[in-house]
């Protein structure tokens, strides 16, 4: 009965699209789904409206209310336009930046959005072609805009696209603006409410002039220019994995002083189909396979890869046996924070009011490095908008050094307010040159960080559950964890539980409860055990997944003990997985 009710509701929603002011291509797709014997695609396309959440839109492209298309993008842009006009009514001219990545339909969605903004009398700065997400954030700040959007689904599979909304500081929106925009988008219940007919006079194309300003700003980040000069022929293999990084990252590396940038030609081809990879995600080892092969051929010093919108960075390095290994996101953030704090200290920049930021699921070793060097470390929720929020709160009071998250995102500057693979690539190349200048490989530098601050290893596990039934299963898993928290994990007693949905922390041994000081609630659970293990569990906000983040601690007293510590950590992680049933 419930299934019949759902199907009837879906058919009624589809009929609205057949009868409404939608183009013929869309109506044809809707008819095809209605006529199909198997109604699965119809249900998935219409069982709900694609949610404009706190991170914007992200979904599979296609016709339907639960898909990314010109109408769902149009409703989002009209709602955002209405909100901007209410918030900035005192300005003579409201303005926005529009950027986009390499995905199929990204340019179309960007141009549709430009038309809608301009039809609402909002000035639009539209990038001439695909550009990295962090450059759009930079442009919002540089041009003094009130908002901006970026059409990207980051590292999602090729079927997806997305729409991220930014505020006047160049950061993704947080409360109250995110919730207020959502409310305005929800008011767009009829396609006729969307103003599609643009005003070309209010659309300005931008490109090279912003590229130059952005790269000039990135060049100011260098902390070891002499090391770069001495090692300017460092062999750097870089791949954009078919994405926007191809536009700026090789150029930024050259302008930083590096002369030996080795391309992966097949992956320099811009394509929303990502033809050489299953997934364009630098977190996935297979995405770096071609770059690693190129590194072996050329005896390179480092491999770097950016995701399709060039905000995430993945790297590979040679180990002590000369084998290429991937460095995970936690380790990458660790290397960045260690280098930045050490060089700031050596250059006399640490004055006592500096800070770094990490997300709650990122390695705790970052906090140790910061605190042992007199630098404050903030913990925030997953997502770079929360790192940007900490930056905003401390602007003019404390000095930001850097911030990152385990999911391969880092930001070493203040002129962008989102993770930035362009500056991260140049900085990681500098760190490699600096390590070489000090007689170390990047691999040995990582080992030395563990020797100084203690060994740790992290593992992220994603359990994928697609569609409506998958979303319900993920919700039940979170509910079960809350109702029946584990008493021990991998044989070690759980001593602390943090629930960011209720903002309560429970000391299991004493029964004492405390309040978690966070700016909002979030559906995240954390368990800390007596042996230093940290487990975090949360549903993904952008993908049909529930994510488990495991961090275990170990011991090593010399570089030679690294492999043994690593093996022991892997065994502990396996035991944790078995305990959790994942």
Burial 160-169 (b: 16+ CB within 10 A, else e): bbbbbbbbbb
Q: Kindly report the number of other CB atoms within 10 A of residue 346's CB atom.
A: 11
Phi, psi (5° rounding) for residue 339?
Answer: -65, -45
pLDDT tens string 30-42: 999 999 999 999 9
**pLDDT value of position 323:** 96
Residue 376 three-state SS: strand
pTM, whole model, 2 decimals?
0.94
**pLDDT value of position 540:** 82
162-176, 262-276, 374-388, 543-557: lowest mean pLDDT where? Answer: 543-557
CA distance linking residue 133 with residue 481, whole number of Å = 36
Q: What is the mean pLDDT of residues 217-235?
A: 98
Pairing of strands 95-100, 147-151: parallel
**pLDDT value of position 1:** 39
Judged on CB neighbours under 10 Å (0-12, 13-18, 19+), 99 is buried
CA distance linking residue 204 with residue 484, whole number of Å = 56
**pLDDT value of position 83:** 98
Whether residue 433 is predicted with pLDDT greater than 60 in this model: the reply is: yes
CA distance linking residue 539 with residue 530, whole number of Å = 25
User: Hey, which residues are catalytic here?
Assistant: 154
CATH node for 456-580:
3.30.310
Give rounded-to-5 percent helix, strand, coil for the chain.
45, 20, 35
CA distance linking residue 495 with residue 484, whole number of Å = 15
Phi, psi (5° rounding) for residue 197?
Answer: -85, 105
Whether residue 212 is predicted with pLDDT greater than 80 in this model: the reply is: yes
* Helix 365-372 with 442-453: angle, nearest 10 deg: 70
H or E segment at 113?
Answer: helix 106-119
The model's confidence at residue 2, banded by pLDDT at 50, 70 and 90, is low
Q: Where are the beta strands (DSSP E) in 114-183?
A: 123-127, 147-151, 160-166
- DSSP letter for 120, please: T
Q: Kindly report the number of other CB atoms within 10 A of residue 49's CB atom.
A: 16
Distances in Å between the Cα of 430 and the Cα atoms of 221, 227, 423, 433, 535 are 10, 8, 11, 5, 33
Q: What is the mean pLDDT of residues 354-376?
A: 97
Q: Is 244 left (phi over 0), alpha (psi -120 to 50) or beta?
A: alpha
CB neighbour list of residue 73: distance below 8 Å, 6 or more residues apart: 57, 109, 112, 113, 151, 163
Q: Which fold has domain 54-206?
A: Alpha-D-Glucose-1,6-Bisphosphate; Chain A, domain 3 (3.40.120)
Please name the residue that has the structure tokens 């000039």: 216
**pLDDT value of position 542:** 64
Rg for the chain, CA atoms, rounded: 24
Whether residue 304 is predicted with pLDDT greater than 70 in this model: the reply is: yes
Whether 288 and 314 have beta carbons less than 8 Å apart is answered as: yes
**pLDDT value of position 33:** 97
CA distance linking residue 157 with residue 554, whole number of Å = 35
- DSSP letter for 53, please: B
Q: Which fold has domain 230-453?
A: Alpha-D-Glucose-1,6-Bisphosphate; Chain A, domain 3 (3.40.120)
Q: Percent of the chain having pLDDT more than 90?
A: 92
Three state DSSP letters for 227-283: HHHHCCCCCEEEECCCCCHHHHHHHHHHHHCCCCEEECHHHCCCCCCCCCCCCCCCC
Phi, psi (5° rounding) for residue 306?
Answer: -115, 155
Distances in Å between the Cα of 265 and the Cα atoms of 246, 253, 394, 429 are 10, 17, 43, 20
Same fold, 54-206 and 230-453: yes
**pLDDT value of position 223:** 98
**pLDDT value of position 80:** 98
Phi, psi (5° rounding) for residue 326?
Answer: -85, 140
Whether 530 and 425 have beta carbons less than 8 Å apart is answered as: no
Q: Where are the beta strands (DSSP E) in 388-544?
A: 399-405, 409-411, 455-464, 488-489, 492-499, 504-507, 513-515, 525-529, 534-539
**pLDDT value of position 390:** 98
Mean pLDDT taken over the chain: 95
Geometric angle at alpha carbon 501, from 495 and 503, rounded to 5°: 60
pLDDT tens string 64-122: 999 999 999 999 999 999 999 999 999 999 999 999 999 999 999 999 999 999 999 99
Three state DSSP letters for 311-353: CEEEEEEECCCCCEEEECHHHHHHHHHHHHHHHHHHCCCCCCC
Whether 383 and 374 have beta carbons less than 8 Å apart is answered as: no
Q: What is the mean pLDDT of residues 134-149?
A: 98
CA distance linking residue 255 with residue 268, whole number of Å = 19
Whether 539 and 527 have beta carbons less than 8 Å apart is answered as: no
Please name the residue that has the structure tokens 């939608």: 22
Pairing of strands 313-318, 57-60: unpaired
Q: Report CA 433 to chain centroid distance, whole Å.
A: 27
Domain boundaries, the chain: 1-47, 54-206, 230-453, 456-580
């Amino acid at each position: 009965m419930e299934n019949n009710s759902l199907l009837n509701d879906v058919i009624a929603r589809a009929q609205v699209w057949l009868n409404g002011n939608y183009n013929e291509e869309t109506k044809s797709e809707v008819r095809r789904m209605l006529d199909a014997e198997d109604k699965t695609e119809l249900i998935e396309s219409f069982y709900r409206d694609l949610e404009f959440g706190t991170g914007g839109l992200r979904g599979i492209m296609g016709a339907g209310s639960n898909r990314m298309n010109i109408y769902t993008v149009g409703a989002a842009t009209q709602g955002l336009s209405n909100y901007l006009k209410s918030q900035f009514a005192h300005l003579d001219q409201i303005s926005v930046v529009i950027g986009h990545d390499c995905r199929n339909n990204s340019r179309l969605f960007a141009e549709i959005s430009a038309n809608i903004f301009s039809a609402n009398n909002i000035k639009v700065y539209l990038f001439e072609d695909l550009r990295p997400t962090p450059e759009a954030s930079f442009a919002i700040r540089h041009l003094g805009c009130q908002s901006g959007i970026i059409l990207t689904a980051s590292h999602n599979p090729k079927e997806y696209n997305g729409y991220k909304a930014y505020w006047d500081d160049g950061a993704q929106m947080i409360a109250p603006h995110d919730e207020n925009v959502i409310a305005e988008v929800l008011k767009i219940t009829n396609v006729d409410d969307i103003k599609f007919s643009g005003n070309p006079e209010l659309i300005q194309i931008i490109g090279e002039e912003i590229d130059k300003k952005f790269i000039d700003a990135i060049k100011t980040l260098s902390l070891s220019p002499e090391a770069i000069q001495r090692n300017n022929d460092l062999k750097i293999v870089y791949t954009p994995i078919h994405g926007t990084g191809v536009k700026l990252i090789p150029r930024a590396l050259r302008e930083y002083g590096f002369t030996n940038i080795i391309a992966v030609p097949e992956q320099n081809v811009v394509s929303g189909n990502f033809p050489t990879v299953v997934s364009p995600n630098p977190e996935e080892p297979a995405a770096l396979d071609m770059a690693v092969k190129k590194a072996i051929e050329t005896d390179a010093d480092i491999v770097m890869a950016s995701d399709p919108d060039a905000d995430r960075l993945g790297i590979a390095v040679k180990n002590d046996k000369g084998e290429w290994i991937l460095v995970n996101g936690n380790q990458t953030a660790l290397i960045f924070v260690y280098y930045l704090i050490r060089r700031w200290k050596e250059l006399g920049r640490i004055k006592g009011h500096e800070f770094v930021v990490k997300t709650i699921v990122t390695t705790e070793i970052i906090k140790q490095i910061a605190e042992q060097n007199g630098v404050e470390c903030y913990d925030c929720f997953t997502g770079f908008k929360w790192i940007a929020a900490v930056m905003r709160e401390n602007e003019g009071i404390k000095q930001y050094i850097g911030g990152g998250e385990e999911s391969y995102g880092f930001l070493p500057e203040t002129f962008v307010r989102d993770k930035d693979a362009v500056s991260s690539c140049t900085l990681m190349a500098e760190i490699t040159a600096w390590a070489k200048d000090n007689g170390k490989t990047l691999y040995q530098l990582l080992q030395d960080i563990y020797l100084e601050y203690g060994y740790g290893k992290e593992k992220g596990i994603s359990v994928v559950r697609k569609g409506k039934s998958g979303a319900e299963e993920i919700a039940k898993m979170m509910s079960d964890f809350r109702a029946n928290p584990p008493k021990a994990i991998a044989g070690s007693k759980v001593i602390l539980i943090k629930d960011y949905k209720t903002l309560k922390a429970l000391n299991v041994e004493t029964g004492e409860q405390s309040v978690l000081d966070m700016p909002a609630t979030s559906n995240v659970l954390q368990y800390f055990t007596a042996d230093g293990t940290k487990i975090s569990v949360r549903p993904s906000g952008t993908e049909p997944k529930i994510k488990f983040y495991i961090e275990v601690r170990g011991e090593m007293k010399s570089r030679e003990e690294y492999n043994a510590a690593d093996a022991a950590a892997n065994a502990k992680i396996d035991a944790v997985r078995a305990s959790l049933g994942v």
